[in-house]
């Protein structure tokens, strides 16, 4: 099979490898497509590969395909599936074939569009995160989202559905902010020339947002969350760490404001993969818009270009996909 492979920090190549064998209780999936997550970029370019160089398909964890062999009673050959491998448990979706434990596989609706349903992996992680970030599930006066990539735009849609009166979204890219406006953002802030903290304080008359979500993966954004939140509000940290080890953080301001701060990790360990199942239904039923995440797409042979496009946030690229079917 062909697969993208991280041969050295910051360098992706495409090579030819043996098709993996399914493990006991597992499945072998012929992959149709995968998408690039922000965490993949941190792994590839920021040193978070943890020694996993040379593994075919690594670090991909958002994929769709068809089962070709199964040692699980839950899946049969020919069945279309979403793959949601946990880290170190088969996150090798950038390959033509993927072997993984059946615990990390979900059936797609028979009449579903796999290209659209691929987005259920990341949507599922944001659904899981929202339960932690805003447990009541009911809207409030104001929410601010830092980052208008695919995850940030999924948060925006959920905040709207929850009934937040005002939602502010910030990003570095004008195209992403246009999409945010189309999806219902009340205010789109073009960072860094515009301040999301000032915009939040202006819109809330100096009070701050009830909920601030960091979906960009930068230390500066996490600090801005503390500045933008109201006293005793809530902060949700979704983005991947910017670097290994310690990072600067405005601890004195956080101490004085006393917000509740939640991190999110481990959606793949949720019983029955509840949030991923909800994401599949939401996309299939048209309750969450994913059209802005469907382009651009690259063939596997151009995987290095695909990762460069995602890393450089080229215009029009909210989510970058890789087609894997031969």
The 10s digit of each residue's pLDDT in 80-116 is 999 999 887 879 999 999 999 999 999 999 999 999 9
pLDDT of residue 212: 98
What CATH number was assigned to the domain covering residues 123-263?
Answer: 3.40.50.720
Query: What's the pLDDT band for 124 if we cut at 50, 70, 90?
Result: very high
The 10s digit of each residue's pLDDT in 266-314 is 999 999 999 999 999 999 999 999 999 999 999 999 999 999 999 998 8
Name the helix (H) or strand (E) containing 77. none
Per domain, the residue ranges of the chain are: 2-119+290-323, 123-263
Whether the per-residue pLDDT at 59 is higher than 90: the answer is yes
Query: What's the pLDDT band for 207 if we cut at 50, 70, 90?
Result: very high
Cβ atoms of residues 212 and 233 within 8 Å: yes
For the chain, what is the mean pLDDT?
A: 96
Q: How many helices (H) and strands (E) does the chain have?
A: 10, 15
CA angle 33, 39, 40 (to 5 degrees): 50
pLDDT of residue 90: 78
pLDDT of residue 137: 95
pLDDT of residue 23: 86
The third-level CATH classification (topology) of the domain covering 2-119+290-323 is Quinone Oxidoreductase; Chain A, domain 1 (3.90.180)
Whole-number Å distance between alpha carbons of 99 and 70: 10
The number of residues making up the chain comes to: 326
The 10s digit of each residue's pLDDT in 152-170 is 999 999 999 999 999 999 9
Query: What's the pLDDT band for 130 if we cut at 50, 70, 90?
Result: very high
Record the tokens describing residue 116, joined without a space.
């659209």
Whether the per-residue pLDDT at 27 is higher than 80: the answer is yes
Q: What is the largest CA-CA distance in the chain?
A: 61
Whether the per-residue pLDDT at 325 is higher than 90: the answer is no
Spell out the residues 6+ positions from residue 14 whose beta carbon is closer than 8 angstroms to its own: 2, 3, 4, 5, 300, 301, 303, 304
The 10s digit of each residue's pLDDT in 215-262 is 999 999 999 999 999 999 999 999 999 988 999 999 999 999 999 999
CA angle 105, 109, 115 (to 5 degrees): 80
- Alpha-carbon distances, residue 104 vs 29, 98, 116, 127, 228 (angstroms): 12, 12, 19, 17, 37
The 10s digit of each residue's pLDDT in 174-185 is 999 999 999 999
């Amino acid at each position: 099979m062909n697969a993208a492979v991280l041969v050295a920090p910051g360098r992706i190549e495409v090579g030819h490898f043996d098709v993996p064998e399914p493990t006991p209780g597992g499945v072998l999936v012929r992959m149709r497509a995968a998408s690039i997550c922000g965490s993949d970029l941190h792994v590839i370019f920021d040193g978070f590969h943890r020694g996993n160089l040379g593994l075919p398909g690594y670090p991909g964890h958002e994929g769709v395909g068809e089962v070709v062999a199964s040692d699980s009673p839950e899946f049969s050959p020919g069945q279309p599936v979403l793959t949601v491998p946990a880290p170190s448990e088969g996150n090798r979706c950038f390959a033509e074939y993927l072997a993984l434990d059946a615990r990390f596989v979900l059936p797609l609706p028979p009449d579903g569009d796999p290209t659209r349903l691929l987005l259920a992996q990341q949507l599922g992680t944001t659904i899981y995160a929202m339960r932690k970030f805003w447990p009541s599930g009911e809207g409030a006066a104001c929410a601010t989202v830092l980052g208008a990539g695919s995850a940030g735009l999924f948060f925006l849609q959920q905040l709207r559905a929850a009934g937040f009166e005002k939602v502010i979204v910030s990003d570095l890219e004008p195209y992403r902010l246009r999409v945010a406006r189309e999806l219902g953002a009340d205010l789109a802030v073009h960072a860094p020339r515009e301040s999301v903290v000032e915009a939040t304080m202006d819109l809330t008359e100096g009070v701050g947002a009830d909920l601030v979500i960091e979906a960009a993966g930068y230390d500066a954004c996490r600090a801005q969350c503390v500045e933008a939140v109201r006293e005793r509000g809530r902060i949700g940290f979704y983005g991947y760490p910017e670097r290994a080890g310690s990072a600067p953080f405005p601890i004195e301001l956080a101490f004085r404001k006393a917000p509740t701060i939640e991190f999110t990790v481990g959606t793949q360990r949720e019983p029955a993969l509840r949030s991923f199942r909800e994401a599949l239904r939401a996309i299939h039923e048209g309750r969450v818009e994913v059209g802005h995440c469907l382009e651009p797409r690259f063939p596997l042979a151009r995987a290095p270009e695909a990762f460069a496009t995602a890393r450089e946030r080229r215009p029009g690229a909210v989510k970058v996909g890789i087609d894997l079917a031969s």
